[in-house]
Amino acid sequence: MCLAIPGEIVEIMADRPLATVDVTGVRRSVNIGLLDREALAAGDWVLIHVGFAMSKIDEAEAMATLRMLEGLGEAYDDEIDALRESRID
């Protein structure tokens, strides 16, 4: 199963299409190049799949998606564990 996980942008790199994104307390680098036509800023929410931001979403949609994903149980836990292993400090 493939999951897209909501994350909140913490910082956008000025020199390349990367952002630091917080996903349930885990921070990691995410490529935002696919959203080059979106006006992104710290505090915005994006859906992330395999290290790429796929779409910009609002906070209400992000929270609803997180609640739904938590209901998936093991698949969600596996995805969050993989995020923790690849986090940046």
Amino acid 59: pLDDT: 95
Structural domain that includes position 60: 5-85
Q: What percentage of residues in the chain have a pLDDT greater than 70?
A: 91
pLDDT at 89 exceeding the cut of 60 = yes
Give the mean pLDDT of the chain: 87
Q: What is the mean pLDDT of residues 48-59?
A: 94
**pTM given for the model:** 0.78
Shortest CA distance to 26 belongs to which of 81, 87, 78?
A: 87
Domain count, the chain: 1
CATH number at residue 10: 2.30.30.140
Residues 6+ apart with CB under 8 A from 73: none
Shortest CA distance to 75 belongs to which of 24, 4, 22?
A: 4
Q: How many CB atoms lie within 10 A of CB 87?
A: 13
Structure confidence by residue, pLDDT tens digits, 2-15 = 678 899 999 999 99
pLDDT at 1 exceeding the cut of 70 = no
